[in-house]
Structure 1
């Protein structure tokens, strides 16, 4: 099991919403987003919850190596061995 901590952050004006959770706590993190969205005292909306929920679903640490492999390289500089 991986001990990495996932971080989600949302800045809305002067408010900051920061969520920390482990992969094993993804379901609880999703429930927390729903609770925040349903709280009328917060500026956290259902749209915010939907966007962050998608990030939770797509951010499993098991998928990180696959994501890294599919990312384009920033620069394709010639290597000394390319001469």
Structure 2
């Protein structure tokens, strides 16, 4: 689905990190996770960055499968 807005969030210990991104800003989002993890003033760890990155990649892969016409024919 082109042009869709996506949301991914992390909430724990009273803190919330909410990321809005579109399908064209996938790489920028991953970079942002790394920048947040490297920022010692934030309570956002490299583990948080890894978990969110994994989730975003999985969502992206699922969307690619759903949008693949050959997948629909085979199902």
TM-score (norm 2): 0.78
The structure with the largest alpha-carbon Rg is 1
Structure 1 residue ranges, 4+ long, deviating more than 2 angstroms after superposition: none
Note the 1:1-83 alignment, pairs <5 A: 2-60=2-60, 61-63=63-65, 65=66
TM-score (norm 1): 0.71
Write 1 or 2 for the structure with the bigger share of strand. Answer: 2
Gaps of 5+ in 2: none
Aligned length: 66
Greater displacement, 1-10 / 19-28: 1-10
| RMSD between superposed Cα atoms in Å | 1.9
Gaps of 5+ in 1: 70-83
Write 1 or 2 for the structure with the bigger share of helix. Answer: 2
